[in-house]
Amino acid sequence: MAAKKRKTAKKTKTKKTVQRKNATQKKSAAKPKKTAAKKRTSRKTQARRFARLRFFGKWLFVLSVWAGIFLFGFILYYARDLPGTDDIVSVPARTGITILAHDGRSVGTYGGVRGQDVYADTLPAHLVNALLATEDRRFFSHFGLDMRGLARAFTRNLREGRISEGGSTITQQLAKNMFLSHDRTVKRKIQEALLALWLEQKFDKEEILTAYLNRVYFGAGAYGIDAAARTYFDKSAVALSLEESALLIGLLQAPSRYSPFSNPDLALRRTVTVLYAMADAGYLDRGQLDGVTAQNLPLRFVDARGDHADRHFMEWIADSIGGFVGTTGRNLVVTTTLDNAMQDNSAFLLRRMLDTHAQEKNAGEAAFLALSPDGAVRAMVGGRDYAQSRFNRAVQAERQPGSAFKPFIYLAALLQGMDVSSVIDDAPLTPEEAGGYTPENFAGRYYGPVTLEDALAFSLNTAAVRLMRRAGIGHVIAAARKAGITSEMRRDLSLALGSSEVTLMELTAAYAVFANGGFSVYPYAVLEIRDDAGQILYSRDAPEIERVFPARIIRRLDVMLETVVTRGTGRAAAVDGARVRGKTGTSQNARDAWFIGYTEDIVAGLWMGNDDGRPMTGVTGGTLPAQLWAEIIGGSDLTDLRYRPPTAEGEGIGGLLRRMFGGEEDGGASGFRGDNTERFN
């Protein structure tokens, strides 16, 4: 039995051994088959990879083609309206404007100051080096775009979160100045880059430098380096010293800010910055700059533009030329209505008044405007000093007129049948009566029942508010509109105290309607425009006159405005030998002080205040403005400015007889001229 078990076990063992051998043989036989499968799998994988590569390659090619088409179209789109660039070296003549006074005498010149065309290789080396050091150090190595500069500018702007550096090359700046606007748009920047590339391909570096230096703006009306040299130093560009060259190149960053005329200290500091930039770029030895400061620079600039007294007027004229003759590209000679003597006298006296009282009275600025009663501008002083501020306060500043607006209230009342001697109550007003606020008289006193003449003469506020309520706000606004006030007016009772802002020009022109007897006025200054060959391009034709107010109404208002000067708030404006009519005005907290007045031949307005609205100290319309007004008008010879009143239908022989014999339609001013001065003192 045991033997049988051993025999069975041995068979089993032998069987297992055979099975293992068979399995091993099977595995051995299967190995070649598996390797072949792997090889087949590898070939399939490679095929799939190749197919994917072909797929991606195909679409990459397609996308590249479309990207090229898109880029071509993109460039074509922005290049379609690019200007021609055939000639950049020859410099186009810039329009210069010669402005003449009404008598033909020169007022001055305005516009492109004309210098000589220069070539880069004839200029001092330090001038070109200053330009390269500050504007484009790699000018001679780049292809129109400075990629390093653009990357640096992009990084800095990204870091600071604002555009603080542009990265534009001289070629890009030339492209912008010659052909494009200064708008900060994507389109303009792309076109600028395209033009820069084109310029670099078409012209050599010397030609580009020459074109740039002949065209770039240096401020003060000077285009080109030679015009700038003549404007600031009264010399040719080829004679500029190192320091003078540095100053002029320093202007390119911001001509107005760094102007030596308006900011001499800042201009000198900028000059030092340019000199150190030249040293940093290797054009100067640092040792040459030892001890150089803005205070010891050997510079002496000369303002070759002449007196600043007329500059606000000249700029106002220059800005209007396009409306008369368009863009001609020619030098122009413009004859205006300006009176040289009055202009010079008013500018001198205005500055002297401010120099004397500015600190004491905290009055930093003033403006003066004189018109003939038909609207001809005879004098315009836009501020204390054009070199310090180009802002023209005679035509641009909108300020509250205060009581200088009141004549329109009284005009509306007269138009509704009231008279000079009509009575209005001057007494405190409740907020309900005054529309939510409480107006008070200037001196805090109230006089009870007063005539319209006295209420206007002594500028009684509560009486004016009551009169506006009686006349109606709408009628007051309508009267002011007819007189020529174009600014927006508040439709509430605060309008009675001059709360709505106006310009000196429109307020003075509105008073001219009172001065000429009730005819419309449109201020004008240009009489004739010729080109430099003498051809007349524009000649003014006097417009048809239009009566906007009845003569009898204007005569009554005229009586009241004369009382303002003879015994009211405007007594300081009296001029010996002249019949002056006018009105004072002071806005809240003395932020603005006015006097607008007229004689038989001239209408003039004067404003005083501060640009930032700071209150003045002790200044009202009846003090410094009225005094200065009288000084200017009293010191002006008006012989050549005699005014001839217009004659319209119904103003002929009848009007003449009425003026000769004092006749009045429906009763006139009733002869009421009682002197109640003591009552108001």
Residues with a catalytic annotation lie at: 135, 403
Q: What is the residue whose two structure tokens read 């020619």?
A: 330
Angstrom distance (rounded) from CA 616 to CA 364: 9
Four-CA torsion 662, 663, 668, 669, nearest 10 degrees = 20
- Give CA–CA dist 488/495, Å, rounded: 11
Distance CA 334, CA 317 (A): 9
Cα 498 to chain centroid distance, Å, stands at 26
**Across the beta sheet with 581-586, what order do the strands follow?**
377-381, 365-371, 603-609, 592-598, 581-586
* Burial group, residue 657, by CB count within 10 angstroms (0-12, 13-18, 19+): exposed
Strand bridging mode 526-531 / 106-111: unpaired
Q: What is the DSSP letter of 335?
A: E
CB 380 within 8 A of CB 417: no
For residues 441 and 496, what is the distance between their CA atoms, to the nearest angstrom?
12
- Report whether 674 contacts 680 (CB < 8 A): no
Point out which residues pair with 426 in neighbouring strands.
448
CA gap 153, 162 in Å, rounded: 11
Q: Virtual CA dihedral for 633, 634, 637, 642, nearest 10 degrees?
A: 60
Half-sphere exposure of 116 (CA within 13 A, CB side): 13
Count of C-beta atoms within a 10 Å radius of residue 510: 27
H/E stretch holding 111 reads strand 106-111
Instruction: Report the interhelical angle of 407-415 vs 504-515 (nearest 10°).
Output: 40
State both tokens at 71: 């880029």
Find how far residue 570's CA is from the centre of its chain. 34
- Note whether 578 and 599 are within 8 A (CB): yes
Q: Is 363 exposed, middle or buried (0-12, 13-18, 19+ CB in 10 A)?
A: buried
| 338 SS3 class | coil
User: 292-303 burial, b if ≥16 CB within 10 A, otherwise e?
Assistant: bebeebebebee
How far apart are the C-alpha atoms of 636 and 378, rounded to whole Å? 11
How far apart (Å, rounded) are the C-alpha atoms in residues 536 and 528?
7
- Would you say the C-alpha torsion 313, 561, 373, 468 has a positive or negative sign? positive
Contacts of 451 (CB under 8 A, 6+ apart): 420, 421, 422, 423, 424, 672, 674
Find residue 539's DSSP bridge partners. Answer: 528
